[in-house]
Amino acid sequence: MNLLRKNGIWLFAILLIGVVFSSVNYLKPKYSFNWDSHNKLVQSYSLLQNKFQSEELFYPGKKFDPDYKYFPVQNNVFLKLDQRHLSAFPVFFAAISSLWLWVFGFSALPYLSAIGLLLSLLLLYEKWKFSKLSLAIAGLGTFAWILSIEYSEHSFFMFSTLCSLTFALRGKNSLVKFIFSGIFCGISVWFRHEGLVYCASLAFWILFAGNKKGSFKKSISEFLFFSLGAAISVGIFFLFNFIDYGHFLGPRFLINESGLNVSYMTRLEWAKTLLFFGTFKLGYFGYMPASLLLFPILIAGWKKLSPKNRILLGSTLSYIFLVLLIIPNDGFNNWGPRFFGPAVFPFAILFSKYYYFLKKRRKFKFIRILFLICILFSFTCGLIGLKYLKEGRKQQEANNLALHSTNSEIWIFSDDSLAYIAGSDYFNKIIFRVYLAEDLPQFLSDLSKFYPGKKITLIQANDEIFGEKVKSTIKENSKFAYGIGKMIWEKESFESAVRSNLDNREELAKASLKFSIGNLKLR
């Protein structure tokens, strides 16, 4: 019987690992570097190129453009500090993933994120004694799945907060455990600033919910030991940032500072999106409706909860609502609310415990079925998210192949959003971004002196493929019109610049792009 049980666990583990890795493979890792994942790839690659001696971002056009005026990356994800050009993202994850990049290459990076999820599931099985059903729910019935199959720090951010909870709430009572709990909670800040909010939330509930029947002195001791551990790791983070960047919160705060000063109504709109839903976005409760059912039930039975369950529930809910006060945006187009990573596995833990409680009481069968329907909905959201991301990968691949068909050495894009199409080709091509058509004559003239005779391609959106629906949306939606307009150069200035600076000109339209190809004139 024990042998069958062990074999069953191993088969289930292999199946779960297979599903997670297959999800990464399904999304075509080679074409997965777009937007934030591309920015983080550039940061990791730069550390390798600089042999960990500098954080200066790698820029293939730096010799021509040492001031990064035409750097093909959004302004809100890189920072010019003194004479350095730095990524907005904390460097810790880049340092970890650069080693993985060095060993396995570009396409293996999304698998690193998947490993972060699998480490969390292993911890839930070993220390929290999760059943196979509970593991499947934690891994595939929450947005941890969709956040962990793209190259990002999210899975390790969630893993570090889960480690913190595990030290605090599992195993024999020991004050030393709370030091390690604090250390791991502080380490989460090295991945994402939201970790600061989670540290504060967890510390508060350790102090005020940790000892239901015990003395308050014990709670104070646990709180102090946790705070000591958190102070060590967060203190190191602050000190490093202050020495390296001149501000204890680092470049991400320096860039996002203006985004924190938004109107009350804007922040309310963001909260609605992140908690429930928005345009092409699902919030915490929208993605995981089981939490909307579970949390009120547990709150109603607060007095019956054990101290550890109070800590779990209290820290999760306070984090969910407090983090809304510091977010710089609504998560943009992420499928799954990325700011709520630390609140995913606590939900899975509480759900596992309550579902087991319901199984022992037949009269609650209806509630159990309702929970399973909600979990099935969340799993379906994951599948829809995979399909949604897959369509993006298909478009990325089509555009990338179209770019390669030009056989040019220099790629010039009209907008950052188009420049991300380059993906990992960013590292073996010379790439620029020129926003305004009126800047092109001088830019191309200077470029022809620097790279005489080189074959170049100017890339902009192909407005000829816009259907009536898109054209109608452009007329009605000023924000959408502005976003599309940035991808298309003004025709008269563009034509003048190209005629004056290119020989052997060729026009090409493929996928959703329009190419102007030619050789820079000899000056």
Give 159-173 as a 3 state SS string.
HHHHHHHHHHHCCCC
Our count of domains for the chain comes to 2
What is the Cα–Cα distance from 45 to 268, expressed in whole angstroms? Answer: 38
> Residue 81 falls within a domain, yes or no?
no
3-state secondary structure of 4: helix
> Residue 100 falls within a domain, yes or no?
no
Closest CA to 435 of 517, 478, 494, 511: 494
Give the domain-ending residue among 360, 376, 399.
Answer: 360
> Residue 430 falls within a domain, yes or no?
yes
427 and 511, same domain (yes or no):
yes
Q: What are phi and psi of 507, to 5 degrees?
A: -105, 140
What is the Cα–Cα distance from 237 to 519, expressed in whole angstroms? Answer: 49
321 and 395, same domain (yes or no):
no
Encoding tokens for residue 329? 């945006």
349 and 456, same domain (yes or no):
no
Closest CA to 159 of 97, 129, 117: 117
- For residue 279, the model assigns a pLDDT of 76
347 and 428, same domain (yes or no):
no
- For residue 328, the model assigns a pLDDT of 85
Q: What are phi and psi of 379, to 5 degrees?
A: -65, -40
- For residue 475, the model assigns a pLDDT of 52
405 and 345, same domain (yes or no):
no
- For residue 467, the model assigns a pLDDT of 54
Query: Which residue type sits at 361?
Result: R
> Residue 84 falls within a domain, yes or no?
no
Contact 219, 208 (CB under 8 A): yes
- For residue 246, the model assigns a pLDDT of 92
316 and 395, same domain (yes or no):
no
- For residue 472, the model assigns a pLDDT of 56
Residue ranges making up the domain that contains 112: 1-31+105-360
Closest CA to 101 of 48, 56, 154, 51: 48
Encoding tokens for residue 315? 């820290």
3-state secondary structure of 28: coil
Encoding tokens for residue 467? 């259907």
303 and 423, same domain (yes or no):
no
Q: What are phi and psi of 193, to 5 degrees?
A: -65, -25
> Residue 55 falls within a domain, yes or no?
no
Ordered per-residue pLDDT tens for the chain, 523 residues: 565 566 688 899 999 999 999 999 999 999 999 889 999 999 999 999 999 999 999 999 999 999 999 999 888 888 898 889 999 999 999 999 999 999 999 999 999 999 999 999 999 999 999 999 999 999 999 999 999 999 999 999 999 999 999 999 998 888 999 999 999 999 999 999 999 999 999 999 999 986 655 578 889 999 999 999 999 999 999 999 999 999 999 998 888 776 677 888 888 999 999 999 887 788 999 999 999 999 999 999 999 999 999 999 999 999 999 999 988 888 766 677 889 999 999 999 999 999 988 877 777 788 999 999 999 999 999 999 999 999 999 999 999 999 999 999 999 999 998 999 999 999 999 999 999 999 999 999 999 999 999 999 999 998 776 655 555 555 555 555 556 777 899 999 999 999 999 999 999 998 789 999 999 998 6
Residue partners of 512: CB distance under 8 A and separation at least 6 = 395, 398, 399, 461, 462, 465
Closest CA to 454 of 405, 503, 416, 489: 503
Q: What is the pTM of this model?
A: 0.94
- For residue 127, the model assigns a pLDDT of 96
How far, CA to CA in Å, does 386 sit from each of 110, 334, 371, 508? 14, 12, 23, 32
453 and 343, same domain (yes or no):
no
What is the Cα–Cα distance from 286 to 143, expressed in whole angstroms? Answer: 11
- For residue 468, the model assigns a pLDDT of 54
> Which helix (H) or strand (E) element contains residue 342?
none
Q: What is the number of residues in the chain?
A: 523
Give the domain-ending residue among 321, 342, 360.
Answer: 360
> Residue 312 falls within a domain, yes or no?
yes
354 and 410, same domain (yes or no):
no
282 and 396, same domain (yes or no):
no
143 and 284, same domain (yes or no):
yes
- For residue 481, the model assigns a pLDDT of 52
Residue partners of 484: CB distance under 8 A and separation at least 6 = 461, 463, 470, 474
**DSSP 3-state percent helix, strand, coil across the chain (nearest 5):** 70, 10, 25
350 and 407, same domain (yes or no):
no
- For residue 483, the model assigns a pLDDT of 63
> Which helix (H) or strand (E) element contains residue 430?
strand 430-433
> Residue 268 falls within a domain, yes or no?
yes
> Residue 157 falls within a domain, yes or no?
yes
Contact 185, 199 (CB under 8 A): yes
